[in-house]
Amino acid sequence: MKLAKLVISGTFTLFVLGMVFVASAVAQTYPIKAINFVIPYPPGGASDIIARVLSEKMQQAYGQPVVPQNRPGANGNIATEFVAKAPPDGYTIIMGNVGPNAINPAVYPHKFDPIKGFETIVQTGNVPMVLVVSASLPVKNVAELLTYARAQKDPMIFATGGTGSATHLSSALLSQMGKVKFIHVQYKGDPFTLTDIAGGHISLGFVTLPALTPFLTNEKIKVLAVTTAQRSPKLPNIPTIAESGVSGYDSSSWGGVMAPAGTPPAVIASLNKQIVSILNQPDVKDRLEQLGVDIVANSPAEFRNFLEIEVIKWATVVKQTGIKLE
């Protein structure tokens, strides 16, 4: 009996040592080929900008190509489902986002589990959203906008990034809390929204702050407010929506890098180490902070805990606002 126990114990010890050896070998050899970095939105938005900054730096650090791939559609569901089904080998990762990874599960029929379907690598940052209107609209602040909207015969059209997107949820919250009705119109991404607002084709919308940055000098767009509880250091003179008469209003987007469930822990650890290091590089910090990104750079476990809370939070908001797939 004792001999059997010793054999079992020895076998288990060899198994553990073998696993440690394999994990160590994976960590030392990864990556040996190109990494595909999937972006669930069109070029020009916050997710795209951050992913491209990371891709360039990761390629330098790893000595292997890191290829950004835009796969827009269905508010990020197309890209997210694609990555959920990809081989869990560390060569397909995605720029996760509050929309597809936390909001969509409560709005869309989906073919992935927002928690069990992915390995969290690192939350890159939080991203404020901004309420913008056409310069031709006769309003100077949120209070005037709400008064103006209530006085219109027909509801005003409000541009967002799609049903269930962070910008859609933000507009729904404003409609609910501001006691005014808007008609929601879906756009493929923030750059398209901003172009149409500047062109006078639509009156107002929510966009992420990084996407707005190239348009800040555009005289055909007025920035009314930021969606977060505190003002953005990037736009210190722009009030929050809560300051502007909608007390308690608070909404923001976030991004983070994820991989298919089952990706080896050693690979996740390697990616986390590299990306956290990149996010803390002075030139990267300066670039992202100039765009209005609040850098987080946390651990995989911290990001997973955050994601679990976000899924519950946004499911509650979807229920309260009555948002449904259109």
Q: Any idea what the CATH number is for the domain that residue 190 is in?
A: 3.40.190.10
> What are the beta bridge partners of residue 65?
none
7 domain residue, yes or no: no
pLDDT value at residue 188: 79
Q: What residues contact 11, with CB distance under 8 A and at least 6 apart? A: none
244 domain residue, yes or no: no
21 domain residue, yes or no: no
Out of 183, 207, 226, pick the residue that ends a domain: 226
Does 262 share its domain with 307?
yes
Does 261 share its domain with 112?
yes
Degrees to nearest 5, angle at CA 265 with 55 and 285:
35
Residue 271 vs residue 14, higher pLDDT: 271
Does 98 share its domain with 140?
no
Does 195 share its domain with 159?
yes
Does 214 share its domain with 298?
no
226 three-class SS: strand
Residue 324 vs residue 288, higher pLDDT: 288
11 domain residue, yes or no: no
Q: How far apart are CA 13 and CA 19, in angstroms?
A: 10
191 domain residue, yes or no: yes
Q: How far apart are CA 232 and CA 297, in angstroms?
A: 19
The confidence band for 313, taking pLDDT boundaries of 50, 70 and 90, is: confident
Q: How far apart are CA 317 and CA 243, in angstroms?
A: 21
The confidence band for 4, taking pLDDT boundaries of 50, 70 and 90, is: low
Q: Which domain holds residue 144?
A: 128-226
Does 49 share its domain with 110?
yes
Does 109 share its domain with 82?
yes
Does 138 share its domain with 183?
yes
Per-residue pLDDT tens digits for 18-51: 444 444 455 568 999 999 999 999 898 889 999 9
Does 208 share its domain with 149?
yes
Q: How far apart are CA 129 and CA 8, in angstroms?
A: 58
Does 159 share its domain with 222?
yes
Query: Mutual orientation of helices 265-279 and 46-62 as an angle, nearest 10°?
Result: 110
Domain count, the chain: 2
Out of 209, 226, 243, pick the residue that ends a domain: 226
26 domain residue, yes or no: no
As a whole number, mean pLDDT of residues 295-302 equals 97
Three-state secondary structure along 93-135?
EEEEEHHHHHHHHHCCCCCCCCCCCEEEEEEEEEEEEEEEEEC
Does 120 share its domain with 38?
yes
CA-based nearest residue to 130, from 142, 120, 121, 138: 142
